Amino acid sequence: MKRNNLIEKSKNMFLSRKDIIFIFLSIFIVVLFYFLPTPSGLSHDGQVMIGILIMAAILWITESIPLAVTGLLIMIMQPLLGIIPAKDVFSSFGNQAVFFLIGAFIIAGAIEKYGLHKRIALGFLKHFEDSPRVFTFGIMLSCALLSFIMPEHGVAALFLPIITSILLAMKLIPRESNFGKISLLCVAYGCSIGSLGTLIGGARNPLTISFLSGIGINVSFFDWMIYSMPVVIISLPIVWFILQFSFPIEVDDISLAKKEISNQVAIGGRMKKPEIIVLSIVLFTMFLWIFFSSYTFFGLAVIAILGSILLFISGSINWKDVEQRVPWGVILLYGGAITLGIGMQKTGAGHWIAGVLFNNLYGVPIFVILGLIIFTILLTNVMSNTGAVAVLLPIGIAISGEIPGISPLLASLIIALSGGLAFMLVIATPGNAITYSAGYFSTRDLFKAGSLANIACIIILFVIAIVYWKGVLGL
């Protein structure tokens, strides 16, 4: 038995044949682009950067190596191939958006350590016990609101045991109960939509403002909320209605759900002093982010690090907590994505791709906006959200330089917010994968509801881009 376990363990330590094929294919593409003749309008360095972009897309889609390792590979490929000097590549990794992300993860880790997120979640759910439909909307709204102050995958991981314990108490049969399907899908979709609302919800959001700051456009925490909140407010009820339409609820009585929530609230008891301290620091940090995060004041990163230091000084967390709870791999993925975008920009590769992709749209801004939304949503359904946004941002910014009526800020917002709306496949987001693991819905259920939800969100984003961002805000 022990020998079999050792053999199985040793197998897991090695890459599969399929992974090895994808790794060699991705590296071969970079080598091929290095030696191929350069087309008109594109520099040799730009051509090699496109090869690195394709390599990154293949590895991010297939996950043949960890996403973070792909981020590191992107960084070292540029100086190795003589495109950008190593000092420039690594200095771009140390921009303030990376430190904002580190600070935000530390704060989220403190919230998780003391169970504040669970207390908040149960507090929200207690107000939505009138009917099964209202309860499912409460799940979606609660997930969205918590995703304003925590990464979306953390919120999904929190809600999974809460909702499954309720479904088990109600004795609902997995994959047969529509109430069970909707409840778990509300978790996945609520987290995804809520993650658009603030810079904390997903790594792609600070990645976007980092790209923009690189070209002299500064977006504060409050600015981001002004741009994104209409998408959240409109999308939530519409996607919830699509779920009700896709899976008519068969449950009339949720008294068992009420009882289970009451039991879990009782177990939590009253707030203790450490929880109050952490909550006070979080609220203080949020206040500073909203009102003092512009570049004329402190900036996002300074406030995030300040909040983190206050948690250490108060004794609320220690470094061991940070090591356990901060996803350092996401930081490395993020850093690699930033260097990819800067390389695409400096070599002119982004401008060249923009011309090739969007020349057929005849430079009409409406068509370009719609094309960007659809293309981003399709791509983000088959690869990491941050990876998809990292691939497309330099192209979108290049498009804005080619087509009148499309500003860099508008193109970046379209890509960043579209990049968070991956509803159709299990692999699309951690939230989809986490909720699927409970076994209450099938991949077919996810695709059925997710395809309708994505169509609805394409329309919502398109209308907001034309009417609100361009028409009202003049972006």
The model's pLDDT over 259-310, given as tens digits with 9 standing for 90+, comes to 777 787 777 778 888 889 998 998 898 888 878 866 667 777 888 899 999 9
Please count the other Cβ atoms lying within 10 Å of the Cβ belonging to residue 44. 15
Mean local confidence (pLDDT), 417-439: 82
Report yes or no: 81 and 48 within 8 Å, Cβ to Cβ. Answer: yes
What is the token pair recorded at 428? 């699309």
**Which one, of 146, 301, 105, lies nearest residue 221 by Cα?**
301
- pLDDT confidence tier of residue 253, bands split at 50, 70 and 90: confident
DSSP letter, residue 468: I
In the structure, what pLDDT confidence band is assigned to residue 360 with cuts at 50, 70 and 90?
Answer: low
Q: Where are the domains of the chain?
A: 12-86, 94-472
Contact 89, 336 (CB under 8 A): no
What is the CB neighbour count within 10 angstroms for residue 287?
A: 11
Within 13 Å, how many C-alpha atoms sit on residue 250's CB side?
Answer: 10
pLDDT digits (tens, 9 = 90+) for 131-162: 889 889 999 998 999 888 877 877 887 788 78
Q: What is the mean pLDDT of the chain?
A: 84
Instruction: Read off the pTM.
Output: 0.75
Q: Which helix (H) or strand (E) holds 400?
A: helix 385-402
